[in-house]
Chains A and B, each alone.
Chain A
Amino acid sequence: MADEDETKEYRWESGYEKTWEAIKEDDDGLLESNVADLVARAKRKRAALKATGAIQLGMMRHLFVVVDASACMFLQDLKPTRFLCVLKLLEVFVHEFFDLNPISQLGILTTKMKRSEQITVLAGNQKKHIEALQHLKDLSCEGEPSLQNSLERAMNGLKNMPAHSSREILVLFGSLTTCDPGDIQKTIKSLKDNNIRVSIIGLAAEVRICREIAKKTGGTYNVLIDDHHLKELILSQVQPPAVAGSIEASLVKMGFPGGTPTLNDGTSDSSADHAPAYCLCHIDSETSSLMGPNGYNCPQCGSRYCELPVECKQCGLTLVSAPHLARSYHHLFPIKPFVERAQVPDATHCFACAKLFVEAETNVYECENCNQIVCLDCDLFIRETLHTCPGCASDPVTAQMKTN
């Protein structure tokens, strides 16, 4: 958040923060080991959550994000305000979401004045969403939110999505109350019947109905502690969730638009593929211009798109490129969580980053497959970013095993 410094309020405007209360002395009256312990524990906890093992994941996700825009979103306990902070984080989320789930779609709703408004429809184009989020910043927050109205609206959008996709709603809920027109229990029931998973992130305190909705629909409910925690919570929604169970494996038809857009040497098999054409993504906008030869053509109907992945507007085919699929691939085979070990005497340094183990580091982590020892930071890096164990990958025997 670059502009955070400009809008930051004065110290005396913020709340009473008793930072000293979080810190406790250990038996020797020292603070350091305790703090290190706390940090390590939190990190591990997060990592452990993600190590779900080999279960079927809903990789093709349809997600509605509902943003609370009621009066309480103007509170300043998140800087600069709750609303701006949430929007900022959502931008990051949208970006990460499409990065990790390239074949998924996303839509945005807001709720205020007991009503719900659609900001963007379900679509796979991240630019549009980010643009819409930036426009939202000028929105004034007022009135009470309505959980039921926004859930109903999201449900209407999700109901008709194909059965093999994972249908989800993510609610960012700042208010402690919801003003609903009818019985919310009925809404919960139909959400459940439609196999829609609702996850809620509360910005203030635990609200019972939110917990109930999340529990009944199989989603998660979390309440933030501060803005760092909020970021963590929002980003944890990026990972595709395990499938609710009832969804059967099915074949999905996908199109792989041929040709590379940068090539202009005419080596492509058909010259029609690179003839200048209007792209369908921008055809609605006023400023649309004739595209050059660059772009992706739908293999089924030949429509032109300037970006992938996208769902063909003409014939409804999902258009992706091979790297997109490959990026989703690691979700299917997450690496096994490393085992926590107390300091092993014969291992002096981390296998991955070659850092020397020092006294302060109490625990190291071992891959069960190749028995290499890594440090905590590498453990997290491998799990969150790399998705492959450097030990296994560099050992020809295990690497062979894996490909088999």
Chain B
Amino acid sequence: MKLNVDGLLVYFPYDYIYPEQFSYMLELKRALDAKGHCLLEMPSGTGKTTTLLSLIVAYMKAHPLDLTKLVYCSRTVPEIEKVMEELRKLMNYYEKEMGMEQNILGLALSSRKNLCIHPSVSKEREGKVVDGRCYSLTASFVRARHAADDAVPICDFYEGFDAHGKEFPLPPGVYNLDDLKEYGQMKRWCPYFLARHTIIHANIVVYSYHYLLDPKIAEVVSKEISKTSVVVFDEAHNIDNVCIDSMSVKITKRLLDKCSNSITILETTISNMKENDSKRLEKEYKRLVEGLRDATIARETDMALVNPVLPSEVLEEAVPGTIRTAEHFIAFLKRVVEYIKTRLRVQQVVQESPAGFLRDIHTKVCIDRKPLRFTAERLASLIRTLEISDLTDFSPLVTVSHFATLVSTYTKGFTIIIEPFEDRAPTVSNPILYFSCLDSSIAIKPVFNRFQTVVITSGTLSPLDMYPKILDFHPVIMTSFTMTLARPCILPMIVSKGNDQVAMSSRYETREDTAVIRNYGNLLVEVAAAVPDGIVCFFTSYLYLETIVSSWYDQGIIDQLQRHKLLFIETQDAAETSLALINYIKACDNGRGAVLLSVARGKVSEGIDFDHHLGRAVLMFGIPYVYTQSRILRARLEYLRDQFQIRENDFLTFDAMRHAAQCLGRCMRGKTDYGIMVLADKRFSRADKRSKLPKWIQEHLKDTNCNLSTEECVQICKRWLRQMAQPFSREDQLGISLLTLEQLQSEEMQKKIQQRAQGV
């Protein structure tokens, strides 16, 4: 249908629209008009993706100069594919309505592993291996060698792309990963490089977060994306962690040993080259003297996205003399690696600021800050010059060089923690150096600065005001939408006590208490007896899950449970977990029913949807606080308190509640779906926790359901399940939670939508 969103004609590819989708469009349009950033929360299953796409595409068509490109960042490959399907639907609708081909090019980009069509390379399973082998077939020097000697293998697809693909742009249309591969097969062009090349002039690009947030990748892939783009981060509730991870480095002893090996390889290659081809090294030297001037020019003209790993000082200056020649640089690297090795030889935990680290490295091995800062660039240059084709060997060394550059560039927002052993096994020596980013705004800052509109959206972003603080930006729009429903299809409940009136809580003091564990067990057994098909339970940690399951076993609760449903448990092993998941789904499909015990923050809680019968109930045992004894977390909390005035407790609660909300949201994937959400901890009913749940859950959490015992909870479940099982058709939804165009345009509905927009 065609909608009028605040004066903008929007083509919406469905006949019906949810009222919140319309409100979402209104807010998004305002943000685009203001050319500012926005933060939007809308429950999962209400069609965020299609709403975003249809509004932004319409905006691009109406204001082609103001908005040229949409960059849609999603988390996983299946999610990317879903976005592409929605986009295809939208474009088909445009074509049908306008009666002509649309001049819009949308494509998905993923790693080489997902896009390679080379007959042997594409068989590889591991992403790194595919990257390495691809590099060894397509690097410029390999191709030069091939020109001289036919025996050197190259990739035909890349050659094809290089010869023709660059002149002929991809015809307009929507290309998902398979389409790209097919097109590549047909033209015999490499789909990966074709996609990367096309990004520059495509109108809509869909890829993973890392292409924009991870500075190492963003440098290669995304730097030429124009300023007048809108960037969308979907499922962005964990965006701060992604930012931090992309800037953090973890160095173990094994990694350093590998580094030493790589350095020896480099050394021998250099000496070989010196004998055969000393000119090349000279050329490199000259280039280094001139400095990284090209990069400076690019940055001045605002062509590129600023790379946070490559600080601006590096660009302005020439590479310092001490590491300019290859041998000197190798010696320098050796010193750095040896120094880190000595630092790892510690007996107790060391925490240190980057400044302290720099002072120490200066006094111990006489390395200045300046050359350290150039390490990453210098190493990259050396590897290029030496024409080393197998990059996989050097990744440990690259990690160390990134560490060196980062530690010398940023004195604020980072910390160094050296732990001699893991907390769980204090007798086994396993020293690890964490170079941990404390400030999530560092990695995302260039994105906010460069693009005119950045949209951060997810099903669970509450409390909204935390994100602008920790990401350090100023949104123009910040809204949380609720879900209009024709029937109360979520049932959140806080169960605070067992039938014996003993309070249930995962508090540290009481978590070992058998009465609490037994009450948790009884709750699960009774819910399992009353709820059909699938039930998913979340625990606060793997450790807690294990202790609880073992005491349930002793108490005979597992036996009782298995009378009603089969039992599956998530473990830290990914293969084991996916096997458990497959069988869980099978058990639900066959009507046997199943219970899945899993962990908040685990794989299950983040990526897997339990729609309809797969998740009729979600039980949250305890509040999923992050492990507060971790030193990295403590350092981050301290930093947040000092820099952003966020109290420790606030951040911890925020973090716990967003994960709880994420877990609860697993069972609700659309308006025809329904699910029970049980929060089994007394502390959930406190106002500070309750108010941090997303609005769409809070709305259904009645005061009467906030302090229930097990028995009361099961009673409510039973009645509610019977209500939900009654026939429910589209007609029941129409006019309330689902609108036709006429209904949308009716005055009454417009008034409601206006109210909703003003209410927030």
Contact = CB atoms under 8 A, between A and B. Distances in A.
Given A176-B593, A178-B590, A206-B721, 18 more contacts: A15-B715, A16-B712, A77-B718, A176-B531, A178-B592, A180-B592, A204-B530, A204-B532, A205-B531, A205-B616, A205-B725, A206-B724, A207-B613, A208-B533, A208-B589, A209-B590, A222-B727, A223-B722
Given A176-B531, A177-B565, A177-B593, A208 B726 contact: no
Contacts of A225: 722-723, 726
A179 interface: yes
A178 B565 CA distance: 9
B593 A205 contact: no
Contacts of A144: 563
Contacts of A177: 532, 564-565, 591-593
A209 to B, nearest CB: 3
Contacts of B137: none
Nearest to B593: A177
A176 B564 CA distance: 8
A210 interface: yes
Interface in A210-231: 210, 222-225
A347 B491 CA distance: 47
A205 B70 CA distance: 45
Nearest to B564: A177
A57 interface: no
23 contacts: A15-B718, A16-B716, A72-B529, A144-B563, A176-B529, A177-B532, A178-B590, A179-B592, A180-B590, A180-B592, A184-B591, A204-B532, A204-B718, A205-B532, A205-B616, A205-B721, A206-B724, A207-B591, A208-B533, A208-B591, A209-B589, A210-B591, A223-B726
Tier of interface size on chain A: 20 to 34
B588 interface: yes
A65 to B, nearest CB: 20
Interface residues of B, number: 29
A208 B587 CA distance: 11
Contacts of A223: 722, 725-726
A206 B592 contact: no
Interface string B579-600: 0000000001111110000000
A182 to B, nearest CB: 10
Interface in A137-191: 144, 147, 176-180, 183-184
Return the 4 tightest CB-CB contacts between A and B, nearest first: A209-B591, A223-B725, A208-B613, A206-B725
Interface in B220-270: none
Contacts of A183: 590
A233 to B, nearest CB: 11
Nearest to B616: A205
A275 B37 CA distance: 99
Contacts of A222: 725, 727
Chain A, interface SS category: loop
Contacts of B715: 15-16
Contacts of A77: 718
B612 interface: yes
A206 B532 contact: yes
Contact of B612 (A147, A184, A208): A208
A222 B722 CA distance: 10
B718 A178 contact: no
B308 to A, nearest CB: 49
B532 A207 contact: yes
B704 to A, nearest CB: 9
Contacts of B725: 202, 205-206, 222-223
Contacts of B722: 204-205, 223-225
Contacts of B727: 222
From A183, A202, A209, A225, residue with most partner B Cβ within 10 Å: A209
B592 A207 contact: no
B528 to A, nearest CB: 9
Interface string B531-548: 111000000000000000
Interface string B33-47: 000000000000000
A205 B531 CA distance: 7
Nearest to A176: B532
A205 B528 CA distance: 12
A18 to B, nearest CB: 8
A204 B564 CA distance: 14
Contacts of A205: 530-532, 616, 718, 721-722, 724-725
Contacts of A72: 529
Contacts of A208: 532-533, 588-589, 591, 612-613
B221 to A, nearest CB: 43
From A202, A204, A208, residue with most partner B Cβ within 10 Å: A208
A95 to B, nearest CB: 27
From A176, A178, A180, residue with most partner B Cβ within 10 Å: A176
A224 B727 CA distance: 11
Contacts of A180: 590-592
Nearest to A180: B590
Given A16-B715, A225-B726, A204 B591 contact: no
A296 B593 CA distance: 52
Interface in B277-324: none
Nearest to A213: B591
A187 to B, nearest CB: 11
A209 B613 CA distance: 9
B566 to A, nearest CB: 9
A226 to B, nearest CB: 8
Interface in A7-54: 15-16
A202 B588 CA distance: 17
A128 B631 CA distance: 77
Interface string B742-759: 000000000000000000
A48 to B, nearest CB: 12
B751 to A, nearest CB: 17
B387 to A, nearest CB: 58
From A72, A202, A204, residue with most partner B Cβ within 10 Å: A204
Nearest to B714: A15
Contacts of B530: 176, 204-205
A147 B531 contact: no
A108 B638 CA distance: 71
Contacts of A184: 590-591
A204 B531 CA distance: 9
Contacts of A209: 589-591
B723 A147 contact: no
A237 to B, nearest CB: 16
Contacts of B724: 205-206
Interface in B6-56: none
B526 to A, nearest CB: 12
Contacts of A176: 529-533, 564, 593
A46 to B, nearest CB: 12
Contacts of A206: 532, 721, 724-725
A70 B689 CA distance: 42
Interface string B494-517: 000000000000000000000000
Nearest to A207: B532
B583 to A, nearest CB: 14
Nearest to A147: B591
B705 to A, nearest CB: 11
A153 B459 CA distance: 48
Contacts of B532: 176-177, 204-208
